[in-house]
Amino acid sequence: MTLICVLTAILLLISFIAKRPLPKFLLIGFILLESSLTFGQGVTQPSQGATQPSNNKAAIADTSKKLAKLALPDSIISITDLSTQKDSAKINEILAFKIKTVKPMSYFSNLYVDGIKVKGLKPWGINNDDKIVFFKLDHKVQNLVEQFLESKAIDKADIPVYLSVGDSSKSIINGIRSMPLEVKQRINVTWVWVMTIILVIILAVALKHNILKDDNNLYYSLGRTQMLYWTILFGIAYLYICKQTGTLPDIPGSILAIMGISAATTAASKVIENKHKDVTPIDPTAKSEGFFMDILSDGSSINIQRFQNVAFNFLFGVIFVQKALSTNLMPDFDNNVLLLLGISSGTYATLKITEATKEQNKPAPQVNSDEVPTGQTAAANTAGDAGAATPTENNTGDATKT
């Protein structure tokens, strides 16, 4: 029995060094032979106690399990995207590889894409208890996979690839399957700088020509300010991400919804202004009360609906920029945020109808003191005739008295 155990250990050691599993029939043969010898010893030596057969059976079962584990090759049980919990992936997302193995998880420190090792990429994290290794698909994976798009006239595509993990020499081949990986083509960062300069120039010219002011009364318009505010934030975030990643970022649907809310607010303000255009002539000498007073008040006092609209847009605008700069992704607001911004803008647009108009009527024409209205002229003539008659009578009386 001792010789059999030694031979078994030697063969397992050779298998481990060569990294090749032993033939199943050979393992089964050694297991049966060792089991029979062990059982035979237990029968021929009853003097060792009555519990010997049960101990022998437990030893046989334990040995069988160990040999079976060593005989089974490593395999991938599942690959999950932590962001979406789906069997698909994008660049900058983290994948979790659940592995069936008896080896330490530090052994699987390399990521393979279609059998090609991603150089320089290390595990993002390791869970030894659950046998899970995590990898973040950063620019190293992008540089490897984007070569598949060089001959295509598209900016991005979902490419089916085989992802696996392993050591520095080979990867696990059991259990791998095709997984869609979204890959984007790179852009020339020089054009990002050119577009940034052009947009800054356009913005400066627009502000100089009162893009934020009302056509009717030359006051700063809250609706126009809101629309320009989000346009600038979206432009800054988009160009920044293009520069940082070298690719065109995806535009989520919530951004389109916010732009729609801003456009609707501006349109509603414009319609209300046009209704008062003929009633309220433009005063060329009118002056703004200041940017913040113009957008917060209706000319008489600061309105709560205007203040609420400004506060909510400013708050979520700051959050939008912070998320974009920290994640290099265009932020995607949930439906509740969109509903809140929509209610705030809708309340402002609705109550704008009831706001007191910022009166800028031309002052009433000055009346010349020499010019007397017709009604006043008739009254003056009547009074003059009466006054003239009295002195005549007095003269007559005086003459009589004389």
pLDDT one-digit tens code per residue, 94-114: 899 999 888 888 889 899 988
**Helix or strand run (H / E) with residue 133:** strand 132-136
Q: Are residues 194 and 340 in the same domain?
A: yes
Q: Are residues 216 and 326 in the same domain?
A: yes
Position 276 scores a pLDDT of 63
What integer is the mean pLDDT of 288-303? Answer: 81
Q: Are residues 97 and 244 in the same domain?
A: no
Reported pTM: 0.59
Q: Classify residue 329: in a domain, yes or no.
A: yes
Q: Are residues 171 and 117 in the same domain?
A: yes
Higher pLDDT, 223 or 287: 223
Position 133 scores a pLDDT of 93
Q: Are residues 194 and 330 in the same domain?
A: yes
Kindly tell me the burial class for residue 274, based on how many C-beta atoms sit within 10 Å of its own C-beta (0-12, 13-18, 19 or more). exposed
Q: Are residues 197 and 87 in the same domain?
A: no
Q: Give the range with max mean pLDDT: 61-75, 205-219, 258-272.
A: 258-272
Q: For the chain, how many structural domains are there in total?
A: 3
Whole domain around residue 59: which residue ranges?
2-45+53-71
- 3-class SS of residue 350: helix
Between CA 44 and CA 55, with CA 50 as vertex, the angle to 5 degrees is: 85
Q: Are residues 118 and 254 in the same domain?
A: no
- DSSP conformation class of 219: P
Percent of the chain with pLDDT over 70: 64
pLDDT band at 397 (very low <50, low <70, confident <90, very high): very low
Position 284 scores a pLDDT of 62
Q: Classify residue 138: in a domain, yes or no.
A: yes
Q: Classify residue 387: in a domain, yes or no.
A: no
Kindly tell me the burial class for residue 352, based on how many C-beta atoms sit within 10 Å of its own C-beta (0-12, 13-18, 19 or more). buried
Question: Position of tokens 């059998």?
Answer: 115
- 3-class SS of residue 84: coil
Q: What is the pLDDT of residues 31-71, one digit of tens each?
A: 555 555 554 454 444 444 444 555 666 666 666 555 555 55
In this structure, the number of other CB atoms found within 10 A of the CB of residue 156 comes to: 17
Q: Are residues 345 and 216 in the same domain?
A: yes
Q: Classify residue 375: in a domain, yes or no.
A: no
Position 396 scores a pLDDT of 39
Q: What is the pLDDT of residues 307-360, one digit of tens each?
A: 999 999 999 999 999 999 988 889 999 999 999 999 999 888 888 877 655 544
